[in-house]
Structure 1
Amino acid sequence: MSLRHTALDALHRSLGATMTDFAGWDMPLRYGSEREEHIAVRTRAGLFDLSHMGEITVAGPQAGELLDHALVGFISALGVLRARYTMICREDGGILDDLIVYRTAENEYLVVANASNAQVVLDALTERAAGFDAEVRDDRDSYALLAVQGPEANDILASLTDADLPGLKYYALLPATVADRQVWLARTGYTGEDGFEVFCAPADAEHLWTSLSEAGAGKGLVPCGLSCRDTLRLEAGMPLYGHELSTELTPFDAGLGRVVRFDKTTNEGQFVGRKALELAAAEAESKAPRKLVGLVSEGRRVPRAEYSVVDTEGTVIGRITSGSPSPTLGKPIAIAYVDAAHSAPGTAVAVDVRGKHEPVEVVALPFYKRAR
């Protein structure tokens, strides 16, 4: 099957991007040094093409009730022009995907799924819509998505719009004109920095990218690929589907039980997976499950996904889900599921790196939190 291309494909190639297959899309991995791109986002600003993400519109008089039924969150309680992080689970509680849902109007929501799961989410929402007065619409071809992230993001965007950026709260959005183009402007991101995501028509993507690049030239903005987006989210302790999240895990297994709302007042509080998730919640309280923790190494060898975590006796007590050198901390870091008995910050454990046990220390997540 041939790879899909975003509306910015030719532009990425003109900038010398290294391209890679990501969930069936040909996407920029990096433009030069992924470390420099990472540091730019932490200290100045970075510009990302995220048009591979999956946009699904749910609209109609019972759109909110449908999403309350289909997802684990209390979506109908979300205010208009606000957003919420949530999940869609199977009947057995396994996570199909983690999502952001934006309420764009009284009876309309924009569900944004991960690229690798967009079709799965679309199919599940379509199936679960039976009996509800609501439409589920595949809008993946209707949007391109850009993100400008970092300490200078606000000033860069402010030069291109008269939208009330200071009044735009975290996890909120508004319709806006940016560089003379109509967009949805959201204060969301996946980097641990302040920033914005810009939903636009694919035909407007190149104009907006060029306008943002020119506006950010004096602010140190650089184009950024998926590689630095991964190290940024890792430092910020943000989960990645297929690593920290999967159908084998419930939200409670992942330490994200807070997104499950058993107190929904619509649909009599029922939703797909509720019974299994109630059991998972009870087990999380009564048992000592594995917990998701951070690991920091003082050595140079990098803990990678699927490496085993061992205790001081060499007994396997967990596994790495994500690992990388941290440009911000200047040392290797990793996220891992470990037995609860070894999950306290400060606990000394080790990672089996090709037969050698590399000492690491358990730390609380996130590794990095921006100054407010």
Structure 2
Amino acid sequence: MKKTVLNQNHVNLGAKMVDFAGFEMPVQYSGITLEHFAVREKAGLFDVSHMGEFSIKGENALPLLQKITSNDVSQLIDGGIQYSTLLNENGGVVDDLLVYKIKDHDYFLVVNASNIEKDWNWISQNNTDGAVMQNLSDDISLLALQGPKAQQILQKLTRVRLADISYYHFTRGTVAGIDEVCISNTGYTGAGGFELYVPNSQAVHLWEKLLEAGKDEGLIPCGLASRDTLRLEKGFCLYGNELSDDTTPIEAGLGWITKTGKGDFLGKEKILNQKNNGVSRKLVGFELLDRGIPRHGYQVFNSEGSCIGEVTSGTMSPIKKSGIGIAYVKPEYARAGSEIFIGIRDKKLKAQTVKMPFV
């Protein structure tokens, strides 16, 4: 297994380590629920250095990105970020990703750890006009400081006016004595905060300085388990669960990042057809009315006992204290308030579809 440069820090803090996307990563430290509430109410610090980063430059960078992603990259301003999907020729999602515009002809992509090689090969295969590509994944560490006190904590370590960084924008500045840190305002927890991109050589220093700066504000290190419960409460998609090569962004409710008016792009014909004629399944949120915990892969039934879909993600919501989940179902059951049943072991537990986010 690969290890991030912060691996020993996690071990020293007593983290439970697991294999995730080929990396040995901390799944939890003090407990999932404790870490979850720390992020919702105060602040949590995540090591997400396993994520992949690509540089795409040159005059043909924009045409390449317009061809392979669903969003309209031409609308990005310098310092802007887009959430998008990487598409295959059938409109399926190769990955979901973030596209950063540094300046004209200079872009930075952040992709999922499990898809680094796959994404790199797919982009390279479609780079027929010679955009300049560089895989920076092994050289960059990424820390996510999340929670309502994240700005207050980070502001102690930088002169950059963090309040001026709008949602889905970024800037560069000195943080904890480290020059040219990329400070990004996106987040995968729905609790606000910042992502900090630094060279591997600076990661341990930044990690320690952040924990020190946040000590009095209740900042604690958090693992991937609470990151998952946090993103699920906000209804955020996870690749491999809600998204796959056989799932289109339209089916996944991501029509808002799928800009069919931008010109030709991979999978456009399939996506236009779904936009115009509808889909055979839709992604919905649901909440269990009976006591239980839904999990990925569980079947969804209607009141007659017919299978109408499948759960993609599920958990016991720490905030709501009930079972919540996301599932693909037939369109006629996608309306909020629809009665459905989740197959858990030998029982069918009553649930209803709800609008996301859950909290």
TM over 0.5: yes
Query: Are the aligned partners of 2:95 and 2:119 in contact in 1 as well (CA < 8 Å)?
Result: yes
Match of 1:340 in 2: 331
* Paired residues for 1:250-265 under 5 Å: 250-264=248-262
Aligned pair partner of 1:201 in 199, 202, 212: 199
- How far off its partner does 1:366 sit? 1.0
* 8 Å Cα contact 1:190/1:233 also seen in 2: yes
TM-superposed deviation, 1:279? 2.1
Q: 2:47 aligns with which of 46, 49, 54?
A: 49
* Corresponding position of 2:285: 294
1:280 counterpart = 2:277: no
After superposition, what is the alpha-carbon deviation per residue over 1:14-52, rounded to whole angstroms, capped at 9, x for unaligned?
001111111111110001211100010000000000000
- Residue 143 of structure 1 corresponds to which residue in structure 2? 140
Map of 1:364 onto structure 2:
355
Q: CA deviation at 1:346?
A: 1.7
**1:303 — aligned with what?**
294
Residue in structure 1 matched with residue 265 of structure 2 by the alignment: 271
Structure 2 partner of 1:231: 229
d(CA) in 1 for partners of 2:221 and 2:103? Answer: 32
* Unmatched segments (≥5 aa) in structure 1: none
Question: In the alignment, is the contact (CA less than 8 A) between 1:192 and 1:236 conserved in 2?
Answer: yes
- Contact conserved, 1:67 with 1:76, CA < 8 A, in 2? no
Letter of the aligned partner of 1:297 in structure 2? Answer: L
For 2:109, the aligned partner's letter is: V
**1:310, 1:52 → 2: CA distance?**
37
Cα contact 1:125–1:136 (8 A) shared by 2: no
Displacement of 1:299 in angstroms is 3.2
Distance 2:101 2:119 in 1: 17
Return the letter of the residue paired with 2:304. E
Q: CA deviation at 1:112?
A: 0.5
Q: After TM superposition, list the pairs within 5 Å mapping 1:320-339 onto structure 2.
A: 320-339=311-330
SS of 1:277's equivalent in the other structure is: helix
C-alpha distance in structure 2 between counterparts of 1:45 and 1:366, whole Å: 20
Pair 1:104 & 2:94 matched: no
Partners in 2 of 1:30 and 1:78 — Cα distance? Answer: 36
Other-structure match for 2:239: 241
Question: Could you list the per-position Cα deviations for residues 202-240 of structure 1 after superposition, in whole angstroms to 9, with x for gaps in the alignment?
Answer: 110010000000010000111000000000000000000
**Secondary structure of the residue that 2:3 maps to in structure 1?**
coil
Aligned-partner residue type, residue 138 of structure 1 = N
Cα deviation code 1:149-206 (max 9, x no counterpart): 0000010001111112111000000001110112100001100111100000111001
CA distance in 2 between partners of 1:104 and 1:14 (Å): 36
Which residue of structure 1 lines up, in the alignment, with residue 309 of structure 2? 318
Query: Which residue identity does 2:266 align to in structure 1?
Result: V
Which 4+ residue blocks in structure 1 deviate beyond 3 angstroms? none
2:166 to 169, 176, 183: 169
Report % sequence identity: 41
Are 2:342 and 1:351 equivalent residues in the alignment? yes
Contact 2:187 2:195 in 1 (8 A): yes
Measured in 1, the distance between the counterparts of 2:277 and 2:7 equals 47
The Cα of 1:317 is off from its aligned counterpart by 1.3
Q: Give the residue type in structure 1 aligned to 2:261.
A: D
8 Å CA contact retained: 1:171, 1:187: yes
1:131 maps to which of 121, 129, 132:
129
Q: Deviations over 1:58-116 (max 9, x none)?
A: 01122112211221221132101000000111101111000001112222111000001
Asked if the contact 2:292–2:323 (Cα under 8 Å) also holds between the matched residues in 1, the reply is yes
Amino acid at match of 1:164: R
Unpaired runs of 5+ residues, structure 2, are: none
Deviation string 1:224-260 (CA, Å, 9 cap, x unpaired) is: 0000000000000000001000111111111112212
Give the Cα–Cα distance (whole angstroms) in 2 for the partners of residues 23 and 58 of structure 1: 24
Residue identity matched to 2:272: E
Q: Who is 1:181 aligned against? A: 178
In 2, distance between residues paired with 1:57 and 1:119?
14
Q: How many residues align?
A: 358
Give, in whole Å, the separation in 1 of the partners of 2:163 and 2:135.
Answer: 32
Cα distance in 1 between the residues matched to 2:30 and 2:312: 26
Q: Please list the CA deviations of residues 251-290 of structure 1 after superposition, one character each: whole Å capped at 9, or x if unmatched.
A: 11111122121222xxxx1222222222232232xx5x32
Q: Could you tell me which of 5, 12, 32 is aligned with 1:14?
A: 12
Q: Which residue of 1 aligns with 2:154?
A: 157
What SS does the aligned partner of 1:151 have? coil
**Contact 1:250–1:280 (8 Å) recurs in 2:** no
Separation in 2 of the partners of 1:57 and 1:22?
24
